[in-house]
Chain A
Amino acid sequence: DTGVSQDPRHKITKRGQNVTFRCDPISEHNRLYWYRQTLGQGPEFLTYFQNEAQLEKSRLLSDRFSAERPKGSFSTLEIQRTEQGDSAMYLCASSFSGSTAGELFFGEGSRLTVL
């Protein structure tokens, strides 16, 4: 499968622990996005990268959240000192900035449960 892949698919952690999610985008895509989705809601934008540069962060992304894309390929999203309100599906997506189609290709997501 050459689509967007995310790891782990599921993570259960205790409040206060740190978690890290990884996203591998489609190889030729230079843009990478993180979204968060809670039950019954649409995806909410968190941040996006063009190549290795993080160009925008949502106000939803508190200081406990950090995202990186060090070589412009895969990305990691780390949540420090997790809280129960962080429980959600974290979706990664990628796209190619040269495309006029505008399509985001999503991964299957990483579901976080904070106990």
Chain B
Amino acid sequence: GENVEQHPSTLSVQEGDSAVIKCTYSDSASNYFPWYKQELGKRPQLIIDIRSNVGEKKDQRIAVTLNKTAKHFSLHITETQPEDSAVYFCAAPRPNFGNEKLTFGTGTRLTIIP
């Protein structure tokens, strides 16, 4: 199966600064890496994902980078805002499968300090 490790478990940044969350995965055949955001008491929601045929993907203030050699991928949030405060989860699927069985990281609680 796939093992996913996520760091840090908690992260506090000043509003306007950048936040970076990192995940590592175990199986080099994994090819799809989503990031989910879960606000307090809410459902997890996909914010960005990346497939293994690209090294970086950006969507406004959010970007994800992938290093297949090192088997790690990172979430970057720039110009952080209070509404970015949430728990963020990375995930990876079983190798050669799609989203049928995602293994999630343990989450990073991001707090934006006004």
Q: Could you give, for residues 1-36 of chain A, a 1 whenever the CB lies within 8 Å of some chain B CB and a 0 otherwise?
A: 000100000000000000000000000000100000
Of A42, A56, A107, A109, the residue contacting B105 (CB under 8 A) is: A42
- Residues of B bordering A, CB below 8 Å: 6, 32, 34, 42-46, 49, 89, 91, 93, 98-107
Of B6, B44, B49, B93, the residue contacting A106 (CB under 8 A) is: B44
- Residues of A bordering B, CB below 8 Å: 4, 31, 40-45, 48, 55-56, 91, 95, 97, 101-104, 106-109
Q: Are A104 and B101 in contact (CB under 8 A)?
A: no
CB distance from A55 to the nearest CB of B (A): 7
Q: Taking each of A42, A48, A109, which has the highest tally of chain B beta carbons within 10 Å of its own beta carbon?
A: A42
Known: A41-B106, A43-B89, A108-B43. 7 other contacts (CB 8 A): A40-B107, A41-B107, A42-B6, A43-B102, A97-B98, A101-B49, A104-B44
CB distance from A36 to the nearest CB of B (A): 11
Q: Are A40 and B106 in contact (CB under 8 A)?
A: yes
CB distance from A48 to the nearest CB of B (A): 6
CB distance from A18 to the nearest CB of B (A): 25
